């Protein structure tokens, strides 16, 4: 099992495989339970990279990237 701790590291991982997602989007996805993660303690967040890879394969990542682009467009307008 490949695991990383924290939104910053999973964001970097996603960027390295060609699926860039900002940290703020990672936090939003966590709030809505739209990204697989575990929280073994209140301030510790663990992401299983195998589960993240499966999540990407389900098409959820495409929806996330489109939502992030739409949000960025509305912020710059």
pLDDT at residue 66 tops 90: no
Q: Provide the domain limits for residue 15.
A: 3-76
Cα four-point dihedral sign 52, 53, 57, 59: positive
Mean pLDDT confidence for 12-28: 95
Number of domains in the chain: 1
CA distance 26 to 11: 7
Helix axes 7-16, 23-31, angle to 10 degrees: 120
Q: List, for residues 48-60, the tens digit of each pLDDT value.
A: 999 999 999 887 7
Look-up of token digits 């900002």: 22
1 pLDDT tier (thresholds 50, 70, 90): confident
Q: What is the dihedral of CA 18, 5, 30, 12, to 10 degrees?
A: -20
């Amino acid at each position: 099992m490949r695991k990383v701790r924290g939104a910053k590291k999973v964001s970097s991982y996603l960027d390295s495989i060609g699926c860039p997602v900002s940290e703020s989007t990672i936090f939003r996805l966590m709030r809505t339970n739209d990204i697989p993660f575990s929280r073994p303690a209140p301030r510790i967040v663990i992401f299983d990279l195998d589960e993240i890879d499966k999540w990407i394969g389900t098409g959820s990542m495409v929806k996330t990237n489109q939502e992030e682009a739409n949000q960025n467009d509305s912020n710059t307008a």
